[in-house]
Amino acid sequence: MTDATSTSANTPSSGNGEASGRDVGLVGLAVMGQNLVLNLAEHGYRVSVYNRTTETTDEFVDRQPFGDHIVGYETIEQMVASLSRPRRIILLVKAGVVVDKVIESIVPFLDDGDIVIDGGNSLYTDSTRRQTALADQNIHFIGAGVSGGEEGARNGPSIMPGGASEAWPHVKEMLQAISAKAGPAEDEPCCDWVGPEGAGHYVKMIHNGIEYGDMQVLAEAYAIMSAQGRANGEMAATFAQWNDGRLKSYLVEITSEILAHTEESGQSTIDLILDAAGQKGTGKWTVISAMELGQPMMLVAEAVGARMVSSFVETRARAAEVLPGPDASPALDASLTLDDIGDAIYAAKLISYAQGFMTLDAASEEFGWSLDLGSIAKLWRAGCIIRAVFLDDIARAYAEKPDLENLLFDPFFADALSSAIAGLRKTVVAAAAAGLAVPAYASALTFYDGFRTARGSANLIQAQRDYFGAHTYERLDKPRGEWFHTDWVGSGAAAVSGSYSA
């Protein structure tokens, strides 16, 4: 790399004009882009911005309060030329082919060692591909997951950068400056290097999958409490109370506010919203990846599935007419307390995070990324949608034992789960008896019971596979790794007819 000045562009420039070059470029002035630019400018960075539609650039630059800390350019070439080297250019454009198009349009104006940071919601495999392709041209590519929505982008998101590690020293200070801060003194940046290739976007994808799960877990608590006849105000108060304890989190907090919100007429807004959930695909991507890695991220899978079922609005209305079941409201076990439901939320969440971290661990192994699971938990403590006190405990668990086999084996979580699991079980039983769908809770409980079963029923699956497909099986009375086939029909079910290597 021919590089370049130094890492000085990493710190905000002192404002001595264009001669020294501007600190950072940003392409894509939709909501996330605009807010990230304002955040950068507020931290003293001089940002050069470009948007395909120039009117958007002009309107934004005219309106913003940071003067020449934010300058708009009509062409990519001008924007690139305004930057000090190594140039740092953040892309916040629509995920998919647009990212490739924008990269193509920028690269001719870049020099060796310049840095392109994709802060959009790209699929991690695309980021891996882009990093490899740009490395061939001596351009450093960083795929950075950014979570926190509009508000996070403006005031401090969680940032999960991965890709060309050579570029990290040149962007570290800037990205950490604009990120959310966590920890007792709120001075620990929720931004740290995640790993090579598409690791940053992978971790962001898992974050989003977990977010689907957390949302479904809360929606099921709402469904149960509604079926128990509790008023929205009471539920709002309950969520607010939960937000004072171990469940303290952004999603619990906003759920309380949503349930308390009323229209001018006095009617609850929540009661007027169609019960059909949208999705943009990151939950589905998470589940696909987990499946590919052999990891049962089933709570998130149920959350994705529940959104799909919710979208069948007309079909559900017809099914409600013809498919019988208990009448949920009176049948729901009146003895199911708010504490039981709080336990169900906590236990289900814990199991979901354990599944998520199992997937991260497997991805780290499969892709050779050496992910630091404790550091990832730390990145999610503030700024992002799943931020919660809970993540401090996960970070602590991995800090104490970096090679922790499973989050559920951490003594704090094992203890917490053993006291909350009874509430989850009671909740699932009550909901099932009442005919109320609680896919996330039921899935969490089933995983828990399966995971803690030392001798399960898969011996029958193996026998069936061997019966119809001669797939062979291992035996309890022989060492692992020796494979046997039985001639089930011919010489009797007990006969072992051979041993095979795996």
* Chain positions contacting ligand 2AM, by CB under 6 A: 28-30, 33, 51-53, 56, 93-94, 98, 101-102
- Least Å from the CB of residue 55 to ligand 2AM: 9
Report which of 218, 215, 252, 207 is spatially closest to residue 356, judged by C-alpha positions.
207
Taking the least distance from each CB to ligand 2AM, the nearer of 73 and 193 is 73
Q: Is 349 in the active site?
A: no
Dist CA 405 CA 363 (whole Å): 14
Taking the least distance from each CB to ligand 2AM, the nearer of 20 and 105 is 105
Q: Where are the alpha helices (DSSP H) in 332-457?
A: 338-367, 373-379, 390-400, 411-434, 439-451
Dist CA 414 CA 418 (whole Å): 6
Taking the least distance from each CB to ligand 2AM, the nearer of 104 and 264 is 104
Residue of 166, 172, 181, 211 marked active site: 211
CB atoms within 10 A of CB 472: 18
CB atoms within 10 A of CB 267: 11
Q: Which residues contact 312 (CB under 8 A, 6 or more apart)?
A: none
**Can you give 427-493 as a three-state secondary structure string?**
HHHHHHHHCCCCHHHHHHHHHHHHHCCCCCCHHHHHHHHHHHHCCCECCCCCCCCEEEECCCCCCCC
- Least Å from the CB of residue 118 to ligand 2AM: 12
Taking the least distance from each CB to ligand 2AM, the nearer of 32 and 391 is 32
- Least Å from the CB of residue 376 to ligand 2AM: 27
- Least Å from the CB of residue 290 to ligand 2AM: 28
- Least Å from the CB of residue 190 to ligand 2AM: 24
Residue of 188, 197, 204, 378 marked active site: 204
Report which of 352, 357, 333 is spatially closest to residue 420, judged by C-alpha positions.
352
**C-alpha angle 40/42/44, rounded to 5°?**
75
- Least Å from the CB of residue 362 to ligand 2AM: 33
Taking the least distance from each CB to ligand 2AM, the nearer of 56 and 138 is 56
Report which of 307, 356, 6, 365 is spatially closest to residue 169, judged by C-alpha positions.
6
Tokens of 428: 């699932």
Q: Where are the alpha helices (DSSP H) in 76-195?
A: 76-81, 97-106, 124-135, 149-155, 168-178
Q: How far, CA to CA in Å, does 499 sit from each of 2, 124, 324, 487, 489?
A: 61, 42, 51, 12, 18
- Least Å from the CB of residue 120 to ligand 2AM: 8
Taking the least distance from each CB to ligand 2AM, the nearer of 97 and 454 is 97
Dist CA 229 CA 209 (whole Å): 31
Tokens of 336: 């199911």
Taking the least distance from each CB to ligand 2AM, the nearer of 105 and 138 is 105
Among all residues, which ones are annotated catalytic? 204, 211
